[in-house]
Structure 1
Amino acid sequence: MGDALKVLVYGTGFAGEGHAAAFRAAGAQVVGLVGRTGSVVRDVAERLGTPYCSTDWEAALNACQPDIVSIATPGGAHYAPIKQAIAHGCHVFCDKPMTDSGATASELYELACTAGVKTAYAASFRYTPSVQHAARLVRDGAIGAPTEVECMSHFNLEREIPFGWSHRKEDGGGRLNNNFTHTLSIVTSVLGDKIIQLAGEVRDDLGRAPIVTGVHNFTKRRDFIPDDLNDPTLDWGESNVEWSYTLMAQIDTPLADRPVSVLFKHGGLVPRFHEDHIVFYGTTGAIYLEGHYGSGQLHHFGPDKTWRALPLPGDIASSMPEVTGETEQCWHILARDFVADIQGTPVTPYPTFREGRQYQQIIDLVRHSTPWSPAPQLD
């Protein structure tokens, strides 16, 4: 391990443990772990076999002298530690959202460029096998020239999930930060990243959530929903961010002579009836991906005018990391490419702070724009 790149991870929850495992699988050495709470970071570091742990990020940077930092905290806590890491000359692997605003994301992007450090931005569901398959089929002309894309998801999240970072804009919450980032990355991985126009609206249809102590791992938050929501001693926090969005975009792609129309529709609190899906339509066919991130079965509509489920190509299947969970698989692929790139091995382009900055700017624009035009009224 003497020549292995050294990684310092900031975050002790689901993402922190997932990032640590991904970098170890990529051949890097996880040398330290930082978290907010001393007892928690010590327990997680011991369980993961990480030699150093701390609640002080600057001290950890000085003590560990990492080549790479992995930022696995909620988005509102990304700005300061990334800025400090860049000042130390570290390469930065950051989960989405990049920050809580386009302005701070832009600043970090410029700082990284000036410092000459590499960055990776983990809007990473573009790496699921079915999305990779779809990208290959579209490039190979399986749908002709792309014309439009439809991204539909309905999560039916429990309204009683305890109040936390996901309810607060300033902490990196909201469905645009935590759903749209992945879906946009999926679409651009297939069509290209030249987004030329967009319009959209957001809606906070939650209002409030119960305040409950003890929630540490984001994936376990449902376990903390209070048994009695009518308890008069229960405190409530107010949501200030969107739980649903509708966004339209146009993407200029080398695969078509005209821009492709894209619809992104997400309801965080509404139930689904049919499958969530992502569909790529073209002049001679279509590709339908089951699931909100298109990670399910792929179906092709071709010249015979019928839908057919297609098997996953063997080379894509064999390239997937042997780990449980789609999220974890995608982290492993991105970390693998990031490490290889830092070491000088040619890799396929991956999302960086360039995309992270653009996504935060788009999110700001959608949240603050007024796309509506007055409708003609009946007499």
Structure 2
Amino acid sequence: MSQKLKVLVAGTGFAGEGHVDAFRAAGAEVVGIVGRTKSVVDEVAGKLAIGYAGTDWSEALTTCQPDIVSIATPGGAHYEPIKQAIACGCHVFCDKPMTHSGETAVDLCDLAQRKGVKTAYAASFRYAPSVLHAKQLVAAGAIGEPLEVECISHFNLERDIPFGWSHRAESGGGRLNNNFTHSLSIVTSVVGEKILSVSGEVRDDLGKAPIVEGVHNFMTRRNFIPKDLSDPSLKWGESNVEWSYTVLAQLESEHAARPVSVLFKHGGLNPRFNEDHIVFYGSRGAIYIKGHYGSGQLYVWGQDKAWNAVSLPQEIVDAVPDVAGETEQCWHYLVQEFVKDINGETVPPYPTFKEGSQYQQLIDIIRKNGSWTDVSDLA
């Protein structure tokens, strides 16, 4: 193209800065950034050398005339800005969760399809190097037919992190929105994208969190934990989201004759004893990846009946963006694919608002805790 694609970013925190870097690396021009607080957005724009900084999204769309908008705010603040951007004909790159509900996510998906704009949904840890490797191995038949997958993670999050969007469903909080979305994207990328059935249970293990002023960046919120939690003047906010979940799913796979069973088990506040992991079990072997998002070493159980560490193929090493941080690597990878697609290049399928809206509908279903059978009266 003779002219760079212009990008407008919503969000001034860790994700906003990460999206800026990713789009610049993909050859796009970041023309503006929008945030809630003028002093913060001015500071971030200055640090990142972005020409336009504002607090009014509608005004920014009119002034910057972007080709792409990049949404890097909490999920509860996604619906209206995306709706306005689609109406302006902008392509949309949106971090997870897509919105705060299945209904609003489906609405945005429909609007984007009718307008003919491209969308990308950044449940992007499917691009972690070992996950890409696992996908390649499963497709090559290394474990035979995939039968079962387990995703186990325990985050041991501090219970007294200041109250904010992560504590409220209407703001896009909860572990399903911010952990399950990545795990589901990883598994579907390896096994198959079609989700056949789901069952789940969620639990709020937290209850409340201290209200503290001045928290602007999600990644630095731990620095604001009050030193005296018994202070009678301290105010508290009520959580209304899950901090732990157990989900069972069945996926259709082109590599298997029968549906593949999947277990997603996450404890946001629980300590881990052994490492978090993802395992793909098959009829002739298994693949084990260290790390809750598959960012660690990959092992294969094969005919020798032993777990063997397997090195990344060179083509995967070469394809992974050379940037620090696994989150940033995955953003860069997806942004590259998205920009290439917009520019008319042929790229493999990547997650879009179709997947994002499906995930939000699944989260609504799981949160109902409607899968229990009362057996208290059994003889």
Q: Which whole-Å CA distance do the structure 2 matches of 1:2 and 1:197 have between them?
A: 47
| 1:55-204 superposed matches below 5 A | 55-204=55-204
Residue 12 of structure 1: aligned partner? 12
Q: Which whole-Å CA distance do the structure 1 matches of 2:53 and 2:172 have between them?
A: 25
Q: Which whole-Å CA distance do the structure 1 matches of 2:266 and 2:361 have between them?
A: 19
- Which 4+ stretches in 1 moved above 4 angstroms? 376-379
- CA-to-partner distance for each residue in 1:15-36, whole Å, 9 max, x for gaps? 0000000000000000000000
Residue 231 of structure 2: aligned partner? 231
| 1:349-364 superposed matches below 5 A | 349-364=349-364
Q: 1:212 to 1:376 in 2, by over 3 A?
A: closer
Q: How far 1:322 sits from its partner (Å)?
A: 1.1
Q: How far 1:314 sits from its partner (Å)?
A: 1.1
Within the alignment, does 1:256 sit opposite 2:227 as a pair?
no
Q: Which whole-Å CA distance do the structure 1 matches of 2:302 and 2:377 have between them?
A: 43
Q: Which whole-Å CA distance do the structure 1 matches of 2:126 and 2:17 have between them?
A: 21
Residue 212 of structure 2: aligned partner? 212
Q: Which whole-Å CA distance do the structure 2 matches of 1:254 and 1:120 have between them?
A: 24
Q: How far 1:42 sits from its partner (Å)?
A: 0.5
| 1:206-355 superposed matches below 5 A | 206-355=206-355
Q: How far 1:348 sits from its partner (Å)?
A: 1.0
Give the TM-score taking structure 1 as reference length.
0.99
For structure 2, the 5+ residue unaligned runs are none
Q: How far 1:318 sits from its partner (Å)?
A: 1.4
Letter in 1 for 2:73: T
Residue 27 of structure 2: aligned partner? 27
- Secondary structure (helix, strand or coil) at the match of 1:341 reads helix
Letter in 2 for 1:81: P
Letter in 2 for 1:190: V
Q: 1:286 to 1:230 in 2, by over 3 A?
A: same
Q: Which whole-Å CA distance do the structure 1 matches of 2:311 and 2:290 have between them?
A: 13
Letter in 1 for 2:190: V
Residue 44 of structure 2: aligned partner? 44
Q: Which whole-Å CA distance do the structure 2 matches of 1:348 and 1:332 have between them?
A: 15
Q: Which whole-Å CA distance do the structure 2 matches of 1:254 and 1:123 have between them?
A: 22
Letter in 2 for 1:180: F
Would the aligned equivalents of 2:11 and 2:35 in 1 still touch at CA under 8 Å? yes
Q: How far 1:377 sits from its partner (Å)?
A: 5.1
Q: How many residues align?
A: 379
Q: How far 1:368 sits from its partner (Å)?
A: 1.4
- CA-to-partner distance for each residue in 1:292-337, whole Å, 9 max, x for gaps? 0111000000011000010111111111111110000000011100
Letter in 1 for 2:93: F
Letter in 2 for 1:101: S
- Secondary structure (helix, strand or coil) at the match of 1:69 reads strand
Q: Which whole-Å CA distance do the structure 1 matches of 2:377 and 2:37 have between them?
A: 58
Letter in 2 for 1:208: K
Q: Which whole-Å CA distance do the structure 2 matches of 1:34 and 1:180 have between them?
A: 28
Letter in 2 for 1:305: K
Q: Which whole-Å CA distance do the structure 1 matches of 2:267 and 2:207 have between them?
A: 15
Q: Which whole-Å CA distance do the structure 1 matches of 2:378 and 2:42 have between them?
A: 66
Q: Which whole-Å CA distance do the structure 2 matches of 1:188 and 1:81 have between them?
A: 28
Q: How far 1:2 sits from its partner (Å)?
A: 6.3
Q: Which whole-Å CA distance do the structure 1 matches of 2:264 and 2:70 have between them?
A: 29
- CA-to-partner distance for each residue in 1:47-83, whole Å, 9 max, x for gaps? 1000011000000000000000000000000000000
- CA-to-partner distance for each residue in 1:278-300, whole Å, 9 max, x for gaps? 00000000000000011100000
Q: How far 1:369 sits from its partner (Å)?
A: 4.2
Q: How far 1:192 sits from its partner (Å)?
A: 1.1
Q: Which whole-Å CA distance do the structure 1 matches of 2:261 and 2:251 have between them?
A: 7
Q: 1:51 to 1:2 in 2, by over 3 A?
A: farther
Letter in 2 for 1:154: H
Q: Which whole-Å CA distance do the structure 2 matches of 1:341 and 1:266 have between them?
A: 34
Sequence identity, in percent?
70
Letter in 1 for 2:245: Y
Q: How far 1:375 sits from its partner (Å)?
A: 2.2
For structure 1, the 5+ residue unaligned runs are none
Letter in 2 for 1:119: T
Q: Which whole-Å CA distance do the structure 2 matches of 1:109 and 1:374 have between them?
A: 37
Would the aligned equivalents of 2:71 and 2:92 in 1 still touch at CA under 8 Å? yes
Would the aligned equivalents of 2:202 and 2:369 in 1 still touch at CA under 8 Å? no
Q: Which whole-Å CA distance do the structure 1 matches of 2:290 and 2:303 have between them?
A: 21
